[in-house]
Structure 1
Amino acid sequence: MSNDFDKLTRYAKSFSGLTPEREALLVEVGTQIKPKLAGITEDFYQQLLSIPEASAFLEGRVESLKKTHTRWMEGLFTGPFDKNYTEQMYKVGDVHVKVRLPVEFMAGAMTLINNRLIALIVETYGDDNRHCAEILAAVSAVTGMTLLVMQQSYQAASLAEELEKFLKISGMSRALFTNLATAYKDK
């Protein structure tokens, strides 16, 4: 998928089920949820630091990462989830690619975040099962959309890496490859 962020937004929302109604619900509950997100961030980084494979990526950066993470989580309950959000999350994924964070860390991290958000939502809204279930579905949708977008960065990096390998092995110049690709595309 190219960097057409409108298209990527629609694609990610279609898989995650992030509807306008769910977006509105996230914003609606945001006033109650956002004040509690710093605690989730603290717990999240405490968990990450206890995982040896993950802690190496955090060395010397935990405090600044916590601030960024809390702002991102607040954005989950603020919106909008438009092409600008998608572009921002794609760039976050791209940063993860550049620091060579294994792709599975993002899925694992999102699971840790979702577990804490589920507990918070149930604690806050558990007395109304239907409403609580709707909020949980909205949280799942927005974190699913976010993860899908961030993983697109890994996909793009993988394709670029494969192209570089092909060019090196074949001895073909990038210019020749681009010309051939363009000629083929027009047919």
Structure 2
Amino acid sequence: MSSDFDKLSQYAKSFTGLTPEREALLMEVGKQIKPKLAGVTEDFYRQLLAIPEAADFLKDRVESLKKTHLRWMEELFSGPYDKTYAERMFKVGDVHVKVKLPVEFMAGAMTLINNRLIELIVETYGDDKKRCAEVLTAVSAVTGMTLLVMQQSYQASSLAEELERFLKISGMSRTLFANLAAAYKDK
């Protein structure tokens, strides 16, 4: 699934409820929310640095990671949430795989982000309960979609590792495996 990012984007949206209406809402509220996201990023990294297991992955990179994180946070409220976005998020997940970041760190980190975004949304729209609920639902949908796409990188990596183990154990060449897979693809 990972090579077809349009399909992956639609798949992730179907699980998280990121509808065109919610996408439009995120872009609409972005004008009010984006100026406040630097504080979310600062809080996020402060929390991560307080977790010893997470801090090990951040050494000497916090300032550059904050810049990347803030750009992504702004993108959450800018769109579009299409195959290009899915491909970028898949690559972010792939970077996490390459630095051997445990997959649960992504879910935990997204929870920390969502917790802070909830506070921000309630501060901004709390006087209008209906609007606040709609924005919170849209934020949950886009961050859920993002997490789902990033986690696909871990699954793709796991499959590649399993294939490498199989090839090593069986003594089969990659070419022979590819030819066999192609022969049975349509059956």
Paired position in structure 1 for 2:12? 12
Query: Which runs of structure 2 are paired with 1:109-124 in the superposition (5 Å)?
Result: 109-124=109-124
Paired position in structure 1 for 2:128? 128
5+ long unaligned stretches in structure 1? none
What is the CA deviation profile of residues 56-97 of structure 1, one whole-angstrom value per residue up to 9, with x for unaligned ones? 000000000000000000000000001110111001001001
Paired position in structure 2 for 1:151? 151
**Mapped partners of 1:82, 1:181: distance in 2:** 30
What is the CA deviation profile of residues 29-76 of structure 1, one whole-angstrom value per residue up to 9, with x for unaligned ones? 101100110000000000000001000000000000000000000000
**Mapped partners of 1:163, 1:184: distance in 2:** 17
Q: Is 2:162 aligned against 1:165? A: no
**Mapped partners of 2:39, 2:77: distance in 1:** 15
Q: Is 2:80 aligned against 1:102? A: no
**Mapped partners of 1:25, 1:93: distance in 2:** 26
For residue 2 of structure 1, report the CA deviation from its aligned partner. Answer: 3.5
Instruction: Give TM-score scaled by structure 2 length.
Output: 0.99
Contact 2:27 2:79 in 1 (8 A): yes
Contact 2:2 2:152 in 1 (8 A): no
Instruction: Give TM-score scaled by structure 1 length.
Output: 0.99
**Mapped partners of 2:186, 2:123: distance in 1:** 57
| Structure 1 outlier segments of 4+, above 6 Å | none
Q: Residue type matched to 1:152 in 2?
A: Q
Q: Is 2:84 aligned against 1:66? A: no
Paired position in structure 1 for 2:138? 138
Contact 2:2 2:153 in 1 (8 A): no
For residue 186 of structure 1, report the CA deviation from its aligned partner. Answer: 2.5
Q: Residue type matched to 2:60 in 1?
A: G
Contact 2:90 2:149 in 1 (8 A): yes
Contact 2:37 2:73 in 1 (8 A): yes
SS at match of 2:59: coil
SS at match of 2:166: helix
SS at match of 1:149: helix
SS at match of 2:79: coil
SS at match of 1:60: coil
Paired position in structure 1 for 2:43? 43
Structure 1 vs Structure 2 CA RMSD? 0.6
**Mapped partners of 1:172, 1:2: distance in 2:** 25
**Mapped partners of 1:27, 1:186: distance in 2:** 43
For residue 126 of structure 1, report the CA deviation from its aligned partner. Answer: 0.2
Query: Which runs of structure 2 are paired with 1:18-57 in the superposition (5 Å)?
Result: 18-57=18-57
Paired position in structure 1 for 2:89? 89
